[in-house]
Amino acid sequence: MSTTALSTSSVGTPLVGVWLIGARGSVATTTVAGCAALAAGLHAPTGMVTETPPFTDCGLPTLSSLVFGGHDTTSCPLPKRAEELAAGGVLPYDLPSAVRAELTAADAEIRPGGPLPGDTRTDDELIDSFAADLRGFVRRRGLARAVVVNVASTEPLPADGDPRLPASSLYAAAALRAGCPYVNFTPSSGLHHPSLAEATRASALPHAGRDGKTGQTLLRSVLGPMFAQRALAVRAWSGTNLLGGGDGAALADPAAAAAKNAGKERVLADTLGTTPEGAVHIDDVPSLGDWKTAWDHIAFDGFLGTRMVLQTTWQGCDSALAAPLILDLARLTSRAHERGLRGPLPSLAFYFKDPDDGSPAALGEQYGQLLDLAQRLRETR
Ligand SMILES: NC(=O)c1ccc[n+]([C@@H]2O[C@H](COP(=O)([O-])OP(=O)(O)OC[C@H]3O[C@@H](n4cnc5c(N)ncnc54)[C@H](O)[C@@H]3O)[C@@H](O)[C@H]2O)c1
C-alpha cells in the first residue's frame, strides 16, 4: 500500500481507513455515528474493549484517525439512515445532527456495490472495480492503510458447484487485490470461499472472521464452559430469536438463517464436547426493528440425574452491540497489519461466532488470547 502523501488526524496520527461493505446498513451507520460521537467526547466508549486499560499503548489507531467509506447497493444517504435509527431509539435522538458532518463525509466515500440484477460484468471485472474503489479511497484520503469490514446482509450459503463467487467473496477478493486487511463480521463466505484459499495464503494479509458474537452466542460461549466445568450434563439446548430490521428480513430466508445458525450451534459442540438436542430458530418480526429478543432453554441433569432447566432471555439492540466491536476489530486489524502480522488472526476469536480453526470456544480463554495479542501489538519490532 502507498506510503506517500499521508494525511494525519487533528492530533498528528496517520489516518486509517475503514471500508464497510454494507456501508448504509444499521451496523455500519451506528459505527460511523458512534465513532464520531466518541471522538468528539459526546459519549463514553461503553462496549469498546480496545478502550479498556489492557489496550493502552498498543499503538492502535485513535478513533479520531479513522476515516470511513464503503460499498452498498442502496442509495439512502447516511445522515438519513442515522435519523431513521434515532427514530427507532437505536441512536440517541440528538446524535444525527451532532455528527452530521462526519456522516456526510463518510457518505461521500460510499461507492455503488454489486452485483445488481442485470450486471453483465465477470467476477474478475467486479473484483477489479471494487479494488479500484478501495485504492482510490486510500489515495484520495492519504491513508496509511484501510481495513475492509463486511457488514452487508447475510447471504445464503453458496450452492455446490456454482461457478460464480458470492458478493461477499468478490469484495473479499478485492480487499486482497488492493492489499487491505479484511474482517468478516457476517456468516457469509467472504475469504472462506474455497476458490480464494490460495490467493488468501499468498497475500499474507491479516484477516479475521466470521460472524460477530454479540448476543445469544456470546452468552452460550460463557454458559457452555460453565456446564462442562461443573460436570453438569446438558440434555437439550434450544434457542429462539425474534428480530426485525434489515437483518431480520435477510434472515427470514431459510438459506441465510442456516448460515447464521451453523455458528450458533458450533459454539455448543465446541464447549460441551457434544452436540445437545435442540435447534435455533430466527423469526423476523419487523415491528421490533433493531431490537432483538433471544431466548434459550437449557435442560440439564444434576447429581443423581435430577432434572433441571436454565432459561435466559436476552433483549439487546443489535447495532449498539455490534458497532463497538467493529471499531475494536478495525483498530486491532489495522495495527496487526502495521506490525507485520500475517494470515488469520485466531486471537480475535473473542469477537466471532465461527472463528478460525484452532481457536478456543470459551469466552474466558478467548479473552486471554486477545490480551496476548495486545501484548504482541505493543511490542516494538
Ligand atoms: N448484533 C449484530 O448486529 C450482528 C451480529 C453479528 C452479525 N451481524 C451481521 O451484520 C450484517 C449487517 O447487519 P445490519 O443489521 O446492519 O443489516 P442491514 O440490513 O441494516 O444492513 C445491510 C446492508 O448491506 C447492504 N447490502 C446488501 N447486499 C449488498 C451487496 N451485495 N453489496 C453491498 N452492500 C450490500 C444493504 O443494502 C444494507 O444497507 C448482517 O449480515 C448481520 O447478520 C450483525
CATH number of the domain to which 186 belongs: 3.40.50.720
Are 285 and 329 found together in one domain? Answer: no
**Cβ pair 152, 21 in contact under 8 A:** yes
Residue 3's pLDDT is: 45
Are 160 and 72 found together in one domain? Answer: yes
Distance 204 CA to ligand 1 centre (A): 27
Atom of ligand 1 nearest to the CA of 29: 16
Atom of ligand 1 nearest to the CA of 215: 1
Atom of ligand 1 nearest to the CA of 171: 32
Are 49 and 174 found together in one domain? Answer: yes
Within a domain: 10: no
Ligand 1 close to Cβ of residue 225 (< 6 A): no
Distance CA 51, CA 90 (A): 21
Within a domain: 5: no
Number of neighbours of residue 31 by Cβ within 10 angstroms: 28
Pocket test for ligand 1, best of 26, 29, 85, 153 (most atoms within 8 A of CB): 153
Mean pLDDT across the stretch 12-32?
96
Ligand 1 close to Cβ of residue 60 (< 6 A): no
Ligand 1 close to Cβ of residue 319 (< 6 A): yes
Are 194 and 286 found together in one domain? Answer: no
CATH number of the domain to which 258 belongs: 3.30.360.10
- For residue 31, the surrounding DSSP H or E stretch is helix 26-39
Distance 21 CA to ligand 1 centre (A): 8
Amino acid at 232: L
Is pLDDT of 4 > 60? Answer: no
**Omega within 30 of 0 (cis) for the link into 210:** yes
Is pLDDT of 271 > 80? Answer: yes
Edge-to-edge strand list for the sheet holding 280-284 = 280-284, 233-243, 291-301, 307-317
Within a domain: 8: no
Within a domain: 2: no
Ligand 1 close to Cβ of residue 211 (< 6 A): yes
Within a domain: 43: yes
Residue 380's pLDDT is: 63
Are 254 and 178 found together in one domain? Answer: no
- For residue 129, the surrounding DSSP H or E stretch is helix 123-141
Ligand 1 close to Cβ of residue 322 (< 6 A): yes
Are 294 and 232 found together in one domain? Answer: yes
Atom of ligand 1 nearest to the CA of 74: 37
DSSP 138-174: HHHHT-SEEEEEE-SPPPPPPPTT--SPPHHHHHHHH
Within a domain: 9: no
Are 48 and 166 found together in one domain? Answer: yes
User: For residue range 196-248, what is the model confidence (pLDDT) as tens digits?
Assistant: 999 999 999 999 999 999 999 999 999 999 999 999 999 999 999 999 888 88
Distance 62 CA to ligand 1 centre (A): 25
Are 292 and 373 found together in one domain? Answer: no
> Where does a domain end: 316, 341, 365?
316
> Where does a domain end: 316, 331, 361?
316
User: For residue range 280-315, what is the model confidence (pLDDT) as tens digits?
Assistant: 899 999 999 889 999 999 999 999 999 999 999 999
Which residue has 466515500 as its cell numbers? 109
Ligand 1 close to Cβ of residue 74 (< 6 A): yes
**Cβ pair 291, 321 in contact under 8 A:** no
For a pLDDT cut of 70, what percent of the chain falls above it? Answer: 98
Are 148 and 235 found together in one domain? Answer: no
Q: Which domain holds residue 354?
A: 16-211+320-378
Ligand 1 close to Cβ of residue 154 (< 6 A): yes
Are 199 and 225 found together in one domain? Answer: no
Mean pLDDT across the stretch 323-345?
97
How many domains would you assign to the chain?
2
Within a domain: 122: yes
> Where does a domain end: 287, 316, 345?
316
Length of the chain: 381
pLDDT band at 40 (very low <50, low <70, confident <90, very high): very high
Is pLDDT of 143 > 80? Answer: yes
Supply the Cα-derived Rg of the chain in whole angstroms.
Answer: 20
Ligand 1 close to Cβ of residue 245 (< 6 A): yes
Mean confidence (pLDDT) of the chain:
94
> In this structure, which residue's CA is closest to atom 12 in ligand 1?
151
Mean pLDDT across the stretch 63-92?
97
Are 111 and 206 found together in one domain? Answer: yes
Within a domain: 7: no
Are 69 and 168 found together in one domain? Answer: yes
Q: Which residue, among 53, 267, 69, 24, has the nearest Cα to 178 in the 3D structure? A: 69
Ligand 1 close to Cβ of residue 29 (< 6 A): no
Ligand 1 close to Cβ of residue 276 (< 6 A): no
Residue 381's pLDDT is: 47
* pTM, to two decimals: 0.95
> In this structure, which residue's CA is closest to atom 11 in ligand 1?
151
